[in-house]
Amino acid sequence: MKKIAIIFSHAPYGKTLGQEGLNLALSMSCYTENIGIFFIGDGVFQILKYQQPNFILSKSYFISFKIFIANNINNFYLCYDSLLQRGLYKNVDYVLKLNICSFIKIRKKIKKFDFILNF
């Protein structure tokens, strides 16, 4: 079975990329469990636990990331370098239990996947 990497590299609101990536990952999980989810760059904001999108008149979808666990997707990686660049390295809660890795380690992991999709 082919391995699929889904990369979230954009901020969660203002564009629909995050929601589209989430929907695609959930759809693909019906066909394969070989899915890796990566949060890099501004994508680290996707997984923050205490988001309040209602203040900018947006709908909340970040809680839906928990559905991955029910669909047997358990490979979640968060870029430590991206956290540092955005000041998110202390006392931050996330929606999921994540593997926090350096950017170099994440690049090595992504290279092991057959398909790479960026949102």
Alpha helices in the chain (DSSP H): 17-28, 67-70, 80-85, 103-110
Does residue 58 contact residue 24 with C-beta atoms inside 8 Å? Answer: no
50: containing domain: 4-118
Domain count, the chain: 1
**pTM reported for the whole predicted model:** 0.87
List the chain pLDDT tens, one digit each, 119 residues.
899 999 999 988 778 888 899 889 888 888 888 999 999 999 998 888 877 766 656 666 666 777 777 777 889 999 999 999 998 877 888 888 899 999 999 999 999 999 999 99
Residue 71, helix vs strand vs coil: coil
The CATH number linked to 52 is 3.40.1260.10
In one letter, which amino acid is 52?
Answer: Q
